[in-house]
Amino acid sequence: MLDATPRDSVMERKGLVSNPCKTCQPVGAIYAALGVHGVMPHSHGSQGCVAFHRMFLTRHFKEPAMASTSAFTEGASVFGGGANLKTAVKNIFDIYNPEVIAVHTTCLSETIGDDLHSFISALELPKGKRVIYCNTPSYVGSHVTGFSSMAAGFVNHLAEKSNETTGKLFVIPGFVNPGDMREMKLYLDAFDIDYTMMPDTTDVMDAPMTGNFELFPKGGTPLAEVKRLGDAAHTIALGEWASEPCANALKRKHDVNFDVLGLPIGLAGTDAYVMALSKFSAKPVPREIDNLRGRLVDSMLDVHQYLSAKRVAIAGDPDTVLGLLQFVLECGMIPAYVGTGTPGGNFEAKVDTILEKYGVAQDDCWRKSETDYFELHQRIIQNPVDLLLGPSLWKQIAKAEDIPLVRCGFPILDRYIHPLIPIVGYSGALHLLQMIADTLMDRQDALCEDQDLEFVM
């Protein structure tokens, strides 16, 4: 397994990514579009692209990810895809009848310079229907960039402002699972906050089995709420990379102020979310939330001896990785390697700020934005770790180096149920804590001598 990875030293590379810590922009754009009710995500490119994007989402969520395509062939690739888009939009409204078609580009349509604004402005649409768009060339950014661009696209194209405020809190949940969004909503409900969450993939990518296929499942942010976002009282953007561009778009367009928080992962991450909700609602923290926090702290103390000083490598999406980094530090672990494939946002400086907060020397943690699993593997060979934390993409390294892996984040392609179970909030942290402690203690059981196999470890 991974026999070609150099074992003597870390190879210097430029201009080559091998086994990236990310996937392409349209994957995120489709996921964001699926989080608004009655929307058909549309890929302006060739069929092969959208087949890959849908497959990737379906394998993570174990749910069908619907999307259409402009179906480029040689002609569109040479002469432009305007005619394909015109035909596609007519067919989609005639056959599937969505309320909105959310178009994103691909590498091909961006490279030939297709101008979506001109194409879409010239379309004749059925009454009341809309076509929105965003640009998602995959030779820059990542699926996280695509998600944030499509979320901002909904605001740019649909959000309106009247003279009457809704008083609502607009919550942008970040690139997280529907299980995480449900958990975030529990906190909003506990504070009795009137809110709009967008995108919201609950009851879309975790829809219950009813025996009937629904092209547009009942979940997703209602379009009527998206249109009224300009009247929101305030925005909370969870995750700088995935959510801040959307909050910024609403600020620029309709002057709605916003706060950017990290994803509510771990103790301090969830505390920040809870205090932001307390401030917005002008209410004290409800007793049930306080109790959830207390149970998490109790459990962290219980398992601390098994996690303390264990070396861990973390990879994945930057917002998720920063949340996980803070949580492992709260648990007394040593984050030996921290990496993401998504560019921008000064990732390393943010890692350093968190390390400083927890009194960890920067030399003890290798961190890098735009890294890949090939580089992480080489470094782990030089100085091994006790645990890998992140998506399924760690899998081959886990097998090659015989290091246990705790799966969390995106994508988890080779296991089930993860999208339904939160890793955010105090309960999510408890779930993470249990997975990490169980994995390390299973390892201890597996490696110890027979006479040392005890129930009290």
Nearer to ligand SF4, 24 or 246 (CB): 24
Q: Which helix (H) or strand (E) holds 280?
A: helix 266-281
In sequence order, what DSSP letters do the residues of 18-36 get, joined into one string? SSBS---HHHHHHHHHHTB
Nearer to ligand SF4, 113 or 359 (CB): 113
24 counts as binding ligand SF4 under rule CB under 6 A: yes
Q: How far is the CB of 261 from ligand SF4 (least distance, A)?
A: 30
* Footprint (CB under 6 A) of ligand SF4, residues 34-53: 45, 49, 52
Q: How far is the CB of 106 from ligand SF4 (least distance, A)?
A: 4
Distance (Å, whole) CA 98 – CA 86: 16
26 counts as binding ligand SF4 under rule CB under 6 A: yes
Number of residues that bind ligand SF4 (CB under 6 A): 8
Nearer to ligand SF4, 52 or 93 (CB): 52
30 counts as binding ligand SF4 under rule CB under 6 A: no
First to last CA, the chain: 32
306 counts as binding ligand SF4 under rule CB under 6 A: no
Nearer to ligand SF4, 49 or 236 (CB): 49
Length of the chain: 457
Please choose, from the candidates 8, 44, 36, 150, the residue with its C-alpha nearest in 3D space to the C-alpha of residue 98.
Answer: 36
In the chain, count H helices and then E strands: 17, 13
148 counts as binding ligand SF4 under rule CB under 6 A: no
Burial 133-154 (b: 16+ CB within 10 A, else e): bbbbbbeebbbbbbbbbbbbbb
Distance (Å, whole) CA 280 – CA 289: 16
Q: How far is the CB of 139 from ligand SF4 (least distance, A)?
A: 7
Sheet holding 258-261: strands in order across? 195-197, 169-172, 234-238, 258-261
The residue behind tokens 């996921």 is 31
Distance (Å, whole) CA 92 – CA 70: 10
Q: How far is the CB of 109 from ligand SF4 (least distance, A)?
A: 9
Nearer to ligand SF4, 51 or 297 (CB): 51
* Footprint (CB under 6 A) of ligand SF4, residues 122-141: 138
Q: Count other Cβ atoms within 10 Å, centred on residue 250.
A: 25
From candidates 36, 107, 193, 249, binder to ligand SF4 by CB under 6 A: 107
314 counts as binding ligand SF4 under rule CB under 6 A: no
Q: How far is the CB of 453 from ligand SF4 (least distance, A)?
A: 49
From candidates 69, 70, 84, 106, binder to ligand SF4 by CB under 6 A: 106
Q: How far is the CB of 23 from ligand SF4 (least distance, A)?
A: 8
Q: Mask: binding to ligand SF4, 377-406, rule CB under 6 A, as x and -? A: ------------------------------
Sequence-separated (6 or more) residues with CB below 8 Å from residue 424 = 176, 180, 183, 184, 263, 264, 265, 269, 270, 273, 323
Given the rule CB under 6 A, which residues bind ligand SF4? Answer: 24, 26, 45, 49, 52, 106-107, 138
